[in-house]
Amino acid sequence: MHKKHLYVGTVEFELVGGLGERFFNQCAQQSLCVEKIRPTATGFLAQTHLRTYRRLRKIARANKCRIHVVKRKGVSFFLAGYRRHWSIVIGLVLAAALFACGRQLIWNISFVDFSNAEQLEMRKELAGYGIYEGAVADENYLESVAAQIFVARDDLSWVRLNFIHGRLEVEKVDRTQQPEMQEKALTEIVAACDGIILRQEIDGGFAQKQAGQSVAQGEVLVSGCTVGKTGALLYGRAAARIYAQIEKEYQVTQPLKVSAQMPGRIIGRESRFLIAGHAFSLPKSSSAQATRFQQTSLSALSIGGLHFPATIETTLYREVQNIECELSPDLAQAIAEQKIYQSVSSQFESYKILDRSTQIEKSEDSITVRMRLTMETDIAKTVPFSGFAGNAEKDDENL
């Protein structure tokens, strides 16, 4: 019997009584395939496929024979038990298909040494190259994409995409700014602003000021070159941290009435199912016309914590609302003070507030905050070397 009958279903039956020989002759005349005919004490045993067996019953009645099934074989009989549970069968078929081609699909993407914001940015960048959960992985293409990302971005010194058993691992090393070499270009350290020196941490160069001295903006604090006692020039790499007490005054005016454009309610949603380089659009929830704000996110398909090699791309469309509100005087003052502290942080990398005085001016439509800060901070600023005159006078005084 042909192998395809095993998939359709085969039946081993027993024929009892009647005209058995005539039964088999009529089966042959009608070109019905009956095989493995074996005589028994009460009749015959034989085998045929499922579709033929349904026609044998009519021939058996015509020859006064009783026919009944002895054994069933084939996929159709196995699936009959799941007739009302086709979801199980479909799941098994999909699982078998995924297992067959799963080695070449990306099941999961993991990021090494990435922050949450960096992961979202890199995931979108990879999706632009067609790399996402469910995409087909190719080693040569992954190497090419890693090289393109490295060339396109200035903040990375190394990036690599490793594909191992369905898992794509993204590794990167951030690029750090290397200090400029000072051997060939003389530099010195000057004061970034007026102040009184509290302490000095000199790693290299020749100090020109002492703790307790007042300095003006641009005045040399540490030189990279000086004249020694013998008149010879002495060189040293100027590197230091000069902590000084400084005073700064800031003024910010905060209006009481403010307006802003904010994303409002969701007016549309579009989703796409991405797998193996193909995109399948899912039904839209509503129209997304006349909108000015949209947000797209990518997420791996996961059911019950189990990852599947597919990605869901969701785009939310929101209407833009113009919001106008009136601030209370206390809130307006807090916002103005926050802006002052942000300005201080942008000017000085680190600082310590020693004293603060604040003046508040209120009007009908605004709050003005004037703040005078006394701070301790590093005022060292590296600039090209300006000359020897000041250094020579300093050495002469030491002599």
Query: What is the average pLDDT across 284-306?
Result: 66
Strand pairing report for 380-384 and 187-191:
antiparallel
- Distance (Å, whole) CA 381 – CA 390: 18
pLDDT of residue 58: 84
- Distance (Å, whole) CA 202 – CA 380: 10
Q: In the structure encoding, which two tokens stand for residue 221, read together?
A: 């604090």
Residue 352 host element (H or E): strand 351-362
Residue 397 has pLDDT above 60, yes or no: no
Average per-residue pLDDT for the chain:
79
pLDDT of residue 337: 92
* pTM value surpassing 0.85: no
Q: Lowest mean pLDDT of 25-34, 173-182, 277-286, name the range.
A: 173-182
Q: Lowest mean pLDDT of 131-135, 283-287, 365-369, name the range.
A: 283-287
CATH 3.30.70 fits 4-80, yes or no: yes
Where in the chain are the domains?
Answer: 4-80, 103-174, 183-256+327-399, 259-324
pLDDT of residue 71: 79
Residue 206 has pLDDT above 50, yes or no: yes
What is the phi-psi region of residue 14: left when phi exceeds 0, alpha when psi lies from -120 to 50, beta otherwise?
beta
Strand pairing report for 195-204 and 239-255:
antiparallel
What is the phi-psi region of residue 305: left when phi exceeds 0, alpha when psi lies from -120 to 50, beta otherwise?
left
Residue 374 has pLDDT above 50, yes or no: yes
Calculate what percentage of the chain has a pLDDT beyond 90. Answer: 15
Contact in structure between 261 and 320 (CB atoms under 8 Å):
yes
**What confidence tens digit (pLDDT) does each residue in 222-241 have?**
887 776 677 666 776 788 89
- Distance (Å, whole) CA 171 – CA 77: 51
CA 287 to chain centre: 28
pLDDT of residue 57: 83
Residue 116 has pLDDT above 50, yes or no: yes
Backbone angles phi, psi at 170, to 5 degrees: -105, 120
pLDDT of residue 69: 82
Q: Where are the alpha helices (DSSP H) in 189-260?
A: none
Contact in structure between 162 and 169 (CB atoms under 8 Å):
yes
pLDDT of residue 15: 84
- Enumerate the β-bridge partners of residue 316: 269, 295
Query: What is the average pLDDT across 75-90?
Result: 62
- Distance (Å, whole) CA 154 – CA 295: 26
Query: What is the average pLDDT across 33-39?
Result: 83
Q: How far apart are the first and last CA of the chain?
A: 116
pLDDT of residue 78: 60
More confident: 46 or 369: 369
Pick the CATH number of 103-174 from 3.10.20.310, 3.90.650.10, 3.30.70.100, 3.40.250.10: 3.10.20.310
Residue 4 has pLDDT above 80, yes or no: no
Most confident listed range (66-80, 209-223, 266-280, 376-390): 209-223
Confidence of residue 86 (pLDDT cuts 50, 70, 90): low
**What confidence tens digit (pLDDT) does each residue in 6-28 have?**
556 788 888 888 888 888 888 88
